[in-house]
Structure 1
Amino acid sequence: MGEIFIFFSVLIGLFLQKKQMRKYLIFLLLISFFSSCISDLDKYLDSEHPKLVKVSEIKGKGEFKPEINISDNMMVLSVAYRNPDFLISRNSNENMEDTFTYQISVVFYSDNKPIPLAPSFSSYVYNPNLLKNNTVTFFEVSYWSRNTLSARIQVPMYYFNHLPQGKNSVMIGVYCHKKYKSTDGLISINEMLSCGYYRFQMNIPEIYSTKLICYGLELQNDSIWSPYNSDFSFGKGLPDVYWTISTPAENEKDYSHFYATTPVQWNSYGYTGTDTIEILSYKPNQNLIIGVNDYDRVFSDDYLGSWFGSIEDLEKSNSDGYISFIHTKRFDYKLISPVCINSKKKSEDQE
């Protein structure tokens, strides 16, 4: 926004005398600078910065420096792992050295037990940095820069749905592994270089569970548009159909929070599978996008159509049993209304 402001200021300045233009531009630059500073300060003040207290650390081969920032129901965990003695050395097997990878992973604990994932996550919920081992475990492949490995891991707060709403004491285990597997499978290395454990306090928002059951979808097939020959790669040219959910979403083009995806139905006029996806949200009327796509083995997937609205909108259409949108004649579904699954009262009653 500041850059646009400055650009128009320069244009205005061209119509002014040199001396006046100089003063005007300096004034506008100062306004832009202070506006940017105030905006950054507001974001910082609105976010949560938990203090991490070291519980234990195995220092054999380096040390960690983790930091946490929580804003807009998104935790950003920044981890730096420094090992001043580490040098990238070449050995006789140069190809082997080139294919080493380094992975930083974090596991979240409550009451000294790993925080579990919701059962539905194992099938549909998509996150490339999530290890689906029934616990909240995230990882990132990292590379050395000046004897330091860095990782920046984003964790949506709905992963902590097993914790009650409000302030909670949480522990993280941070691990660094050196990994290698030869192409012939004869050599395999998975060496833990170091690990550390840190405790911190954080506020958990209310988390709602809504179950969306899809009984299949039928694509448009008429004189205006037909799926036939819409995909020229294989078979008859029918699309390889799958559907997705993105949530939360600000508008119909906001795919920044990709949430879940179904399997692909190959070479099809629609999607005939039955899927139950648990949508975890921060409010009962959260917006989402249901997207229908054509999988492409070579290039990026093709967009077939999408529906944008709130969970409340889906509830209103629940009696009809389906919704329609571009290139999708019917999306047959049933919605089980949202329920808060981590309310403080519910947790106290269970105790």
Structure 2
Amino acid sequence: MSRIKKILKWSLIVTLVLIVSIVSFGYWFINLLPKPEISKEELQATLPTDLPYLTENVIEPRGKILAVVTSVGVMGSSGKSTGYELTELSRAYYVFKANGFEVDIASTKGGLPPVVIDGDDMKEFDYAFLNDSIAQGKVRNSIAISTVNPDDYAAIYFVGGKGAMFDFPDNEHIQALLKDYYQSGKVIGAVCHGPAALINVKLDNGRPLLENKTVSAFTNEEELFLIKDAKEIFPFLLQDKLIEQGAKFDEGYLYLEQLSIDKHLITGQNPWSVWALAEAMIAQIGYTPKPRQKSAEENSVSVLITYESKGFDAAKVEIGKACKQNPRSIDRELIAVHSLVATMQLNLGKSFDLIQLLRYSNEYL
């Protein structure tokens, strides 16, 4: 009996030590993140007129681009809510606007579509979109895809969001639009789950649009990391289905920017690909994208890609160059999140490296 008591006693001590250690590490880790430059309240109050990218060197009208979002608000029979990803619409919307294009918003059913707003991902362009009465009017009264005239637009852009997995692939109006746009050489863009729109589209020759096309989209690894039972919830995994229909799937690093350009078909892997994708669409239409100061999030994504492709030292040099110009040009929270993801994957070496990069960036503050 005394032996059992000793075992229980030491088990309790070890458990308490682990709890204290985890709490202490968490406190230390959180303190690595500097206080934001502006308050959350100020950020949430951002207006389109506060963004120099939109208000300076205004470009004359060049035409219209159609952005398409999902009308599905629940993931199948799971009961989990979904919709289109606000950041994937807002950032592309303003790139198109800044480059002289009016943007219409359509959905599979028309009217007010369901939206996913992740407060941790929201930045000034996203809050400006929420405070933009014109943009919000277009969202509330989105055009039913069945009524869209393809001749009205220079390009079409399919916004991501997990709901797209349920209503994009079998929509006959989407299929007709995509066949028309692809065969006429108009620019097609799609990001994250948006490439689900490309599934089941057949050209006049009877072949799948996706056949032998290089594409990127939300990967199996990204999907299953976030939703362990994704195979049961979704009708298919997007990467698998794209490959099944003949696509050459171009997979980038986990939760980092990845863009595929196959002539006038432009696809992006995830939300971190939106800026590059929207600007690539402008270039493919035939215009040089308007100069834009890259966001701290984009700079951090670049650093993380450099770390993955070239190693720690190269990533450290890139951080130094960015922070010498502006100490706030790095999104430290994003680097911290990737460190936590590495820990969850039991890649402790990577996690430690990213913490070291985070600490190094703080030397410039």
Query: Normalization by structure 1: what TM-score?
Result: 0.28
Query: Normalization by structure 2: what TM-score?
Result: 0.27
Larger radius of gyration: 1
Structure having the higher helix fraction is 2
